């Protein structure tokens, strides 16, 4: 085991897959000479050369579309969006082409592309740079969506994503890039679509993913210490495919659920989850399902106020206590 | 082949080309107007330096005064000042995230700008937009936009609005040398040319988009792409405010009089990193920056010219600089003393209707938590 940052874990996954499969290429703005806007791709250009690691102009529709096209021929592009927020510039390529081409060709074509980059608030970069589009992406059959919360998960899931034969959208987090965690030295893969119980408990299940997993673990610790409440934290890890079975098993154990997501509430991932939980485990519930989201407005810039707009341990704690009343 | 302007900077002495000073639009300037241009450039420089200090320093609570991104305009001052000085009642401006210079050049209050950087409720966008999102519609300044190239179609829309309303005016849509490769820019070019809209696309070519030089990001010549759309185009040097004004005046007149768009590339240089968080040393040399500063600093160049013209003296230039420093300091004090927005403010300014409930006509829930 080694202690790696989330950033290093992603980088190691990229390096290992570049080494393993000559069809893998890494492209995006500033990924090469500049070593990545967030230094995720540091050293990759040096190690693998410009044929495998390429800097693109600021043309998201163009280069993302190019990656999708190349994937149809069996190239396996791992495209970096400097921020997932810029996906909107390439929306047509992502949704009409990557998501639909297999279906429209009657299954003749597949797109083994990965698009990765950070998607989060919390760094005061304002409304245009703080989008969390996992719900919007996952609303399109044909695509897979992964949101890892730890270095271990990030590495194992990214390697699986690169080997996956469908388009996989991999949403990282700039706030987590510096976070450290244990990562095995030997190779491992984590299958897409497998949730992970990050903390076991018996009174309440928090279902979450991405950075709110870390915040929920902090809240769970406070709830245990200060309120003698035992919280189970289920990390979805993958939004689509969705491991609803792990969620339901936890609900059947604790009988109370709080969904926490760094998303606006309307048609968010939590909306789909709460529907499925009540449909399949209604009789197991002792309380209405709770939900904690980002406050429903574009991302505010003001640093101290943005903290209050997003999920945070205190907001999670309050929402949990309200459910247990 | 495209040239790498930063690598081909000529070593010229600090003198503004008098030929541009004699262009009618500049010859018509009064001494007071020339001093005003100069002091605007100095005020931008000092504002940026003060905001840089606030970004890297700590506030009373031990946190940063400014969060997120801070893209400084140092080195490019003559462009915003030169262009905005030509604005009439129906001329409009829109730009990207490197927007502080344009905001000062259109006359926004530096106190409100600094307060915006600090995320305070007294900021020009009530602390909601931050550095990348300054706006002042009453000064025909439409932002301040964070998505590279995203503002350019809006600029065409402003030009459309001017024409639709029957005004004699224009829109200046500013972008960087990296932004020219966005699809939206090309769609906007075509629309403006096809529909004869009075839009001037201004490329502030500082040689780099983040760490990528022009040569590594763009095929062909930047402004010349206008030819593909049958648009006029021009290139000028951005260190000489007279040259910027003379060039832009020509195209603005055509836009206002004949409703014709154009692309103007203005060659410039940025002294600081892409944003304050990004270090410089990986993609350009210190010498490159120092060479530009020594030979083409827009403030130095204009100061030398104005002293030669007898408009300024070393002493009066120093006074202007002192006043600009004091203004920036006062702006920081104001920002520091101002309150933050409250969590209740988060859901204000989202819908016109929720801000004006007495005039609401739609029904149903607008917010979901
Ligand atoms: C659509 C989009 N892609 C990428 C970015 C990230 N980004 C912000 S500024 C920038 C470089 C732009 O360079 P240029 O257009 O030359 O303007 P300059 O910063 O030099 O003023 C990049 C890549 C963004 N904000 N929006
Ligand atoms: Mg540039």
Whole-complex ipTM: 0.96
Residue B343 — pLDDT band, cuts 50, 70, 90? Answer: very high
Residues B120-133 have a mean pLDDT of: 98
> Which two structure tokens, joined as six digits, stand for A102?
């297999």
Under 8 Å CB-to-CB from B369, ≥6 apart: which residues?
A265, A293, A295, A296
- What CA–CA distance (Å, rounded) separates B250 from B253? 5
Q: Is the CB of B193 under 6 A from ligand 1?
A: no
- The closest residue, in CA terms, to atom 3 on ligand 1 is B148
Could you tell me the distance, in angstroms and rounded to a whole number, from the CA of residue B235 to the centre of ligand 1? Answer: 21
Domains of chain A: 2-183 (3.40.50.970), 196-324 (3.40.50.920)
Three-state secondary-structure class, residue A253? helix
Q: Is A129 a catalytic residue?
A: yes
- How many beta-carbon contacts under 8 Å exist across A and B? 146
Q: Is A60 a catalytic residue?
A: yes
Chain A interface mutation, best of B274, B279, B368, highest count of A Cβ atoms under 10 Å: B368
Average pLDDT of chain B to the nearest whole number: 94
**A239-295: pLDDT as tens digits:** 999 999 999 999 999 999 999 999 999 999 999 999 999 999 999 999 999 999 999
Q: What kind and span of H or E run contains B158?
A: helix B151-164
Please spell the DSSP secondary structure of B100-138, one letter per residue: HHHHHHTT--HHHHHHHHTT-TTSTTTTSS-TT---BGG
Is residue A60 within 8 A of residue A83, CB to CB? The reply is no
A35 close to B (CB below 8 A): yes
Which residues partner with A55 through β-bridges? A28
Residue B64 — pLDDT band, cuts 50, 70, 90? Answer: confident
**B161-186: pLDDT as tens digits:** 999 999 999 999 999 999 999 999 99
- What CA–CA distance (Å, rounded) separates A113 from B108? 46
Q: Is the pLDDT of residue B243 over 80?
A: yes
Residues 185-224 (A) with a CB less than 8 A from some CB of B? none
Residue B9 — pLDDT band, cuts 50, 70, 90? Answer: very low
- What CA–CA distance (Å, rounded) separates A83 from B68? 13
Q: Which listed ligand is nearest to B181 at the C-alpha?
A: 1
Q: Is the pLDDT of residue B7 over 60?
A: no
> Given an 8 Å threshold on Cβ–Cβ distance, is B119 in contact with A127?
no
Whether pTM exceeds 0.90: yes
- Which residues in chain A are contacts of B209 at CB distance < 8 A? 57-58
Nearest to B369 among A86, A125, A295 (CB): A295
Query: In 3-state terms, chain B is what percent helix, strand and coil (to 5)?
Result: 50, 10, 40
- Give which of B80, B118, B112 is closest to B96, Cα–Cα: B80
Ligand 1 atom closest to the Cα of residue B98 is 21
> Which two structure tokens, joined as six digits, stand for A167?
């388009």
- What CA–CA distance (Å, rounded) separates B123 from B341? 10
Task: Provide the H-helix boundaries in A132-210.
Answer: 134-138, 151-163
- What CA–CA distance (Å, rounded) separates A185 from B13? 59
Of the candidate ranges A121-130, B47-56, B163-172, B282-291, the one whose mean pLDDT is the lowest: B282-291
Residues A13-18 have a mean pLDDT of: 98
Q: Is the pLDDT of residue B271 over 80?
A: yes
**A284-311: pLDDT as tens digits:** 999 999 999 999 999 999 999 999 999 9
B343 close to A (CB below 8 A): yes
Peptide bond into B286 cis (omega under 30): no
Three-state secondary-structure class, residue A76? strand
Q: Is A20 left (phi over 0), alpha (psi -120 to 50) or beta?
A: alpha
Nearest to B347 among A60, A297, A302 (CB): A297
Residues 114-153 (B) with a CB less than 8 A from some CB of A? 116, 119-121, 125, 127-130, 132-133, 145-150
User: Sheet harboring A114-118: ordered strands across?
Assistant: A53-55, A24-28, A76-80, A114-118, A168-172, A144-146, A238-240
- Choosing among 3.30.300.30, 3.90.79.10, 3.40.50.970, 3.10.129.10, the CATH entry for B15-277+286-359 is 3.40.50.970
Could you tell me the distance, in angstroms and rounded to a whole number, from the CA of residue B277 to the centre of ligand 1? Answer: 14
């Amino acid at each position: 085991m080694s202690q790696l940052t989330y950033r290093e874990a992603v980088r190691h996954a990229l390096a290992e897959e570049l080494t393993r499969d000559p069809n893998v290429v890494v492209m995006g703005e500033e990924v090469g000479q500049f070593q990545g806007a967030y230094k995720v791709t540091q050293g990759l250009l040096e190690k693998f050369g410009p044929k495998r690691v390429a800097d693109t102009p600021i043309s998201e529709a163009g280069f993302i579309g190019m990656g999708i096209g190349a994937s149809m021929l069996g190239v396996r592009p791992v495209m970096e969006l400097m921020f997932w927020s810029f996906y909107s510039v390439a929306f047509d390529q992502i949704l009409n082409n990557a998501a639909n081409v297999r279906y429209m060709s009657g299954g003749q074509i597949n797109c083994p592309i990965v698009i990765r980059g950070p998607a989060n608030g919390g760094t005061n970069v304002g409304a245009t740079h703080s989008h969390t589009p996992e719900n919007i992406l996952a609303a399109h059959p044909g695509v897979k969506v992964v949101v890892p919360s730890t270095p271990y998960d990030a590495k194992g899931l990214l390697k699986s994503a690169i080997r996956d034969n469908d388009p996989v959208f991999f949403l990282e987090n700039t706030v987590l890039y510096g976070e450290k965690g244990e990562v095995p030295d030997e190779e491992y893969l984590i299958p897409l679509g497998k949730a992970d119980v990050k903390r076991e408990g018996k009174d309440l299940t928090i279902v979450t993913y991405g950075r709110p997993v870390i915040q929920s673990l902090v809240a769970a610790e406070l709830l245990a210490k200060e309120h003698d409440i035992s919280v189970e934290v289920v990390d979805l890890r993958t939004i689509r495919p969705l491991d609803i079975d792990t969620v339901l098993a936890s609900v059947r154990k604790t009988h109370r659920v709080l969904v926490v997501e760094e998303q606006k509430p309307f048609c968010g991932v939590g909306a789909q989850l709460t529907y499925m939980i009540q449909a399949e485990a209604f009789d197991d519930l002792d309380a209405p399902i709770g939900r904690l989201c980002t406050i429903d407005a574009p991302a505010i810039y003001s640093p101290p106020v943005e903290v209050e707009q997003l999920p945070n341990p205190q907001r999670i704690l309050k929402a949990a206590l309200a459910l247990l009343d | 082949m495209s040239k790498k302007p930063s690598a081909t900077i000529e070593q010229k002495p600090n003198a503004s080309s008098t030929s541009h000073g004699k262009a009618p639009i500049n010859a018509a300037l009064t001494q007071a107007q020339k001093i005003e241009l100069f002091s605007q450039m100095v005020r931008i420089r000092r504002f940026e330096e003060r905001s840089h200090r606030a970004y890297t320093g700590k506030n009373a609570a031990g946190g940063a005064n400014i969060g997120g991104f801070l893209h400084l305009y140092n080195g490019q001052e003559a462009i915003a000042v030169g262009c905005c000085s030509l604005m009439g009642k129906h001329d409009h401006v829109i730009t990207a995230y490197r927007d502080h210079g344009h905001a000062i050049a259109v006359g926004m209050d530096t106190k409100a700008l600094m307060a915006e950087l600090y995320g305070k409720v007294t900021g020009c966008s009530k602390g909601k937009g931050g550095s990348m999102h300054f706006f002042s519609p009453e000064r025909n300044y439409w932002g301040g936009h964070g998505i590279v190239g995203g503002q350019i179609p809006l600029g065409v829309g402003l030009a459309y609005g001017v024409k639709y309303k029957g005004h004699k005016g224009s829109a200046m849509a500013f972008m960087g040398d990296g932004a020219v490769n966005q699809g939206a820019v090309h769609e906007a070019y075509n629309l403006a040319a096809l529909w004869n809209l009075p839009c001037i696309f201004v490329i502030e070519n500082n040689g780099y988009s983040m760490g990528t030089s022009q040569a590594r990001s763009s095929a062909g010549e930047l402004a010349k792409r206008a030819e593909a759309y049958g648009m006029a185009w021009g290139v000028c040097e951005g260190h000489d405010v007279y040259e910027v004004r003379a060039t832009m005046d020509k195209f603005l007149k055509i836009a206002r009089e004949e409703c014709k768009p154009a692309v103007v590339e203005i060659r410039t240089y940025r002294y600081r990193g892409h944003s304050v968080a990004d270090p410089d040393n990986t993609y350009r040399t210190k010498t490159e920056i120092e060479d530009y500063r020594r030979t083409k600093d827009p403030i130095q160049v204009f100061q030398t010219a104005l002293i030669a013209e007898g408009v300024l003296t070393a002493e009066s230039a120093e006074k202007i600089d002192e006043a600009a420093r004091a203004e920036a300091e006062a702006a920081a004090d104001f920002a520091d003393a101002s309150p933050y927005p409250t969590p209740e403010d988060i859901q204000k300014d989202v819908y016109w209707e929720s801000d004006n409930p007495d005039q609401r006509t739609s029904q149903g829930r607008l917010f979901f938590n």
